[in-house]
Structure formats: structure tokens, C-alpha cells
Amino acid sequence: MKRQLSFIKILVQLICDMTPPSGTHAPSIATLKTACEQLVAFLSNIFQTADEDDFRKQFDLFFSAIVNFSDRLYTTSLSVKKVNTLAVFQLFDQLITQAEEDYPQFILPSHAMALASVAAVKKNISQQIPAIRMALQEKHISDKLLTQLLKALQDPFKKDKYPAFSYGDQRYLLLFVNQLKSMVRDGRTKDWNKRLRQLLIKNNFNHMGIYKVLEEEIRDSLNKINKTTRLELRLLETNTWLEQLQPVHDLAYQPYADSLKTMLLKFSNMLHQHAVIKETADSTNTKLRLNLSVDELTLELHYRYIEKQFPYKNKKETAQAVANNISSKGTTDISSHSLSKFDKLELKDAAIKVYQRNKRITEMILRDFDL
């Protein structure tokens, strides 16, 4: 097998590299056709006589080689436009098609597709994208998700993609696009944003851009929740919804990465852990709690600093110390910047309260100590 492939490689190299007068390639092309026919016959003989493991090894060698030869001839025919080169490319294209038909069980999802076949799949997908975009817009799919989805459908065709576009990629994209088309043709009134997310998770569309959009949605749904118990309830609802979705076995946009469901569950569980840690930290907070507003604390700090009641070098350090050790009515974490601001207009109401409180305290001192 290796000797036959080496001979074919030399002939392909010769046809690609040389630019002879018209017709002088004929002997090389005839020799190449004969060599390919002998190679196919040799492979067929191995299939009939060898065990499955031995044949698989020989087939992998054969198939990888003819795909590489096809790619070399395809790229050369595109750039140089040699008639003879195109004719030889078609010879290998036929060999690939014959192998796909005769030995489909030995073509693995990880096998790279020939560039010409990839170009055909790309054209097929690209032609369907405008209609899919329009239909999903009519179903009011969120712009962020729609943008990432259409990008993800084209990302596998990027130049120099690693690993190269494979038969598994083709199977996944065509299957998913068909399901997407079935969804957009559905005229019923549904929550199509939710339905699309279910479709993505069930089909393990684990494209990182898609994951980031869904991650952001989970985070945004929690941002306005202040109480840990409510946050935990929302995360429980999210996890329950995710757990109920069962991805199709052995199907993935990226086969060697975590599933979309797994990534979202990990993120949701991480948020839950952070919420528990924060709740624990808040419950063990050692700050002195005062039933004063931030504005009232600002005035107390301002005038007591003037009276030199704090041993710090400046007002900024004083404000930071107060913020680190005291919590006010309504907030645990006070900004030292807020405590340092002295805006008379904003502090007017608080000044009245502080004045009245301090007046009452003064009156009690006078009374208690007969001053």
C-alpha cells in the first residue's frame, strides 16, 4: 500500500508542478489512472482477506492519502486553471465518492473531508442562512443569540481551521440545520426563544459564542435579586430546566469539549456557591451596625474629624476606617468616597436629623449631670 501511494504521489507532484505543452501530460495521466485502479483493486482484496482491524489501518492510510491528493489538485486547479490538473482532480474525487459508497462504516467522524467536498457543504449552508435569519427574526429571537448562531454555522469553514473540517462536522451541521428549518416552518404560537435554547442544548451546540450568550442571560436574570434565598430559588429553577433537557447521544458541535448543558450547569452551580459564600460572609460580618443613614454618618465623620476625634493622618484615611468597620442603615458596604463628600445641599435633610439628635443628647447630659 505505501509503495503504491508513494508512486501515485510522485505522479500527482509531476502533474501539479509541470506546465508542459498541451497534451504531453497524457502518458502521466494514463499511468496515474492505471495506478489508481490497481490501488482500488488491492484495497478490495485486503477487505476480502484481512481481519477488520488490519483493513481499518490500511483503509485509513488509503483514504487520508487520496484526500490529500485531491486537496493538492483542487487548490492547484483553482489557482492555475490547468485542464489536465482539473481532470486528475476529478479522478480522485471519484475515488473518494467510491470509497464513501463502498466502505462507509470505515469512514470515521474524525476523518477530514476533501476541500472540494467542504466547499460544497459550505455553499449549501450559506445559501440557506438568509432564509433562516429572516424566519428567526420573525419569531423574535434575541439579536445576540441570532448573531452568534449564524456565526457558529459558518465558523467550521474558516481557513486553516484545526482540526480540519470532518465528516462529523458535516453530519452535525446538516442535521442541525434541518432541525432549525423544521422549527422555523412551525407556524404555532410558542415561546420560540425558549424553544431555540432547548434545541441548542439537546443537540449539544457547544459553540463558545452560544455558551457566552446563555451564560450572560443567566447572570442577567440574577442581577436584580438581592436576597440569597430568592437567588437560590431562581438558580434551582434554572438547574431543574437544564437537567430535564437530555442531549442526543454522541452528537456535538465540538466533539471533544464539554457539552453545552454541562457548561451551563457548571456556571449555575458556581453562582450558587458564590451566593452561599457571600451569605456566610455577611452573617459573620463583625462591622459595628448603626441605625444611621450614610448621609448622617458623613456629617458625624466630618464634624468629629474637625474636632480631632480621629487619630488618622487625613480625612481620606478616616473615611476608609469608618467604611471598613461600620455599616449604616440600609447597606453593609459603605463607600469611603461617599463618606468623604461634603455637599451641603445633598446633606441638608441629614443635617436636621443630626442637629436634633445631638440637641437631645446635650439636653440629657445637662439633666443627668446637673450641668
Q: What is the pLDDT of residue 14?
A: 76
> Which pTM was predicted?
0.72
Q: Residue 47 in contact with residue 55, Cβ under 8 Å? A: yes
Q: 442544548: which residue's cell?
A: 201
Q: Which residues of 231-266 are buried (b: 16+ CB within 10 A; e: fewer)?
A: bbebbeebeeebeeeebeeebbbbbeeebbbebbbe
Sequence spans of domains, the chain: 2-107, 118-283, 288-369
d(CA 244, CA 167): 30
Phi, psi of 327 (to 5 degrees): -115, 145
What pLDDT, on a 0 to 100 scale, did the predictor assign at position 203?
Answer: 97
pLDDT at 282: 61
- What's the pLDDT at 26? 56
Residue that has been written with the C-alpha cell 460572609 in this structure: 281
User: What are the residues facing 328 on neighbouring strands?
Assistant: 331
Neighbouring C-alpha atoms within 13 Å toward the C-beta of 304: 17
Ranges of residues in the chain with a pLDDT under 70 are 18-27, 79-84, 226-228, 279-286
pLDDT digits (tens, 9 = 90+) for 154-176: 999 998 888 899 999 999 999 99
Rounded to an integer, what distance in angstroms lies between the CA atom of residue 243 and that of residue 201?
10
Torsion sign (Cα): 277, 221, 192, 128: negative
